[in-house]
Amino acid sequence: MTHGETATLDIEIDRLLADLAALAAVGGTGDGGNCRLALTDDDAGGRELVVGWMRDLGLEVRVDRIGNVVATRAGIDPDAAPVMTGSHIDTVRTGGRYDGTLGVLAGLEVVRALDDAGVRTRRPLAVAFFTDEEGSRFAPDMLGSLVYAGGLALEEALGTVGFDGALLGDELERIGWAGDAPVPGPAPHAFVELHIEQGPVLERSGIGIGAVTGVQGIAWHELTLTGQSNHAGTTPMSLRRDPGLVAAQVAVAVRELAANLGAPMVGTVGRLGLHPDLVNVVPARATMTVDLRHTDDAILSAAESRLKALVEPLAKAEDVSVAWRELARFAPVAFDETVISLVEAAASARGLSCRRMPSGAGHDAQMIARMCPTGMVFVPSHQGISHNPAEHTDPADLAAGAAVLLDVITELAA
Ligand code: GLV
Ligand code: MN
Ligand code: MN
C-alpha cells in the first residue's frame, strides 16, 4: 500500500486501553494510581512488560547506556533517519496511569495499526521510552532524554545521587537496564510525543486536541536550612534558631512571588522535611525544594533572583544558614512550526477540535527538540488533575490523540 491509500488506517482503542491497564497493574498503589519511581523494581517490571510488547511486534529493541529504550520498525529506506515517538513509563510516587505511558503505548498501537493495514513507511519508525523523566527520585527531570540529546554527560548522569541516597548508576545496573547503545543517541528525523495535558485548559475549553507550541522553562532549587536543635520545652522563643520557621516563611514567600509576577508564573514547594522530625525538638535542619516555571526565560531568571533575595533576610533574622543546590534548570523550548501545523491538520482532517497551547509540564520532547524538529499532541485531563492517582482521560479522547499521533507520524515518515 502506498501513502495515498492510508485512509482505512486506524488505531484500535481497546488494545491501547488494555495495554494501559496492564502497565498500570505494575506498581499499582491500590487507589487507581501508580508508583514506578525511576530505576526501582517496579520501574523494571514496567520495562519488562513494555519491551515484551515491543519484541512481540517484531521491533528491533536497543537499550542505551542510561537505560533509554528505543524500538525500531524498519522503513522502506533503511538509511533514512527514523521518525521517533514515545515518552516515559516511570512515575512520581503518587502517579496516575496515563502520564508518560500514553505516549509510549500509543506509539506501539500506531505500529500495530500500520502492521494491520500492511503499511510500510519510507522512514523507519522508532518508539522510545526514556529513563527517569519524572526526576522524583533522581533530579533533574527528563534525565534520560537529556542524556540521549547530549545535554548531560553519561558519567555525570550515572553519578546522580537520588533523594533516597541511591546512586543512579548502581540502580541502573541493579535492575539490569544498563544497555550498551551509545549516548548521545542518533538524531531522529522528527520527534512527536502524545501526552495528557495534565492541566485544565482543554477540558475547560471543550477542545479535544492540543497542538503544543512549546514547553515553559523550569528551575528546581533545593534549600538546606541549618539552625540549632534544642529542647521544645526549655528553649525560650527569643533564643531559637529554627530552620522550620524559615522553611515555612519561604513557602509563603514562594506563593507571594508567583502571585506578584502573575500568570503564567508558577511556584511550588513540593518537598519539605524537618530533621530530626520530632514533636518536642526544635529542628536542626529543614530541607525543601522550590519548583519555579515560566514561559519567558528572563522572567524565570528574575524569579530565581528574587527567591534568593527573599530567602537570605528570612534566614538571617533567625540566624539560620542556607545551602542552595540547583537540581534542574531548563530554558523554555519552542516546538517546530511544521510539526505543530501537522498536528493541527491531522486533528482537522479527523473532525477534531484543536487549539495551540504551551505545555506547563516538562516532557522528553523538550529535550529531543535539541536534535530534530519536534512537537507534541495533548489530550484533555479530567478536571486538570495529574501527578495524582485520580488522573483520568476519557477513552474517546485517548483514541482521538492516538489517531492524531498515527496521522502525524505516517505523514512525517512518508
Ligand atoms: C515532569 O513531569 C515535570 O513537569 O515536573
Ligand atoms: Mn509525563
Ligand atoms: Mn509527570
pLDDT digits (tens, 9 = 90+) for 306-320: 999 999 999 999 999
Closest CA to 129 of 227, 223, 30, 62: 62
> Looking at residue 73, what is its pLDDT?
98
Nearest CA to ligand 1 atom 1: 362
User: How many angstroms separate the first and last alpha carbons of the chain?
Assistant: 12
Extract the C-alpha cell encoding 225: 536550612
> Looking at residue 8, what is its pLDDT?
76
Distance of alpha carbon 263 from alpha carbon 302, whole angstroms: 14
**From the alpha carbon of 360, which atom of ligand 1 is closest?**
4
User: Which residues contact ligand 1 via a Cβ below 6 A?
Assistant: 134, 141, 361-362
Phi, psi of 128, deg, nearest 5: -120, 150
Nearest CA to ligand 1 atom 3: 362
**From the alpha carbon of 100, which atom of ligand 1 is closest?**
2
Bridge partners of residue 154, in order along the sequence: none
Extract the C-alpha cell encoding 250: 519561604
CB atoms within 5 A of ion ligand 3 belong to 99
Average model confidence (pLDDT) across the chain: 97
**From the alpha carbon of 387, which atom of ligand 1 is closest?**
2
Angstrom distances, CA of residue 83 to CA of 73, 92, 128, 377: 10, 28, 11, 15
Q: Nearest ligand, CA of residue 91? A: 3
pLDDT digits (tens, 9 = 90+) for 372-394: 999 999 999 999 999 999 999 99
> Looking at residue 1, what is its pLDDT?
42
Q: With bands split at pLDDT 50, 70 and 90, how would you rate the model's confidence at 6?
A: very low
121 and 414 in contact (C-beta within 8 Å)?
yes
Q: What is the DSSP letter of 269?
A: -
Q: Which of residues 78 and 212 earns the better pLDDT score?
A: 212
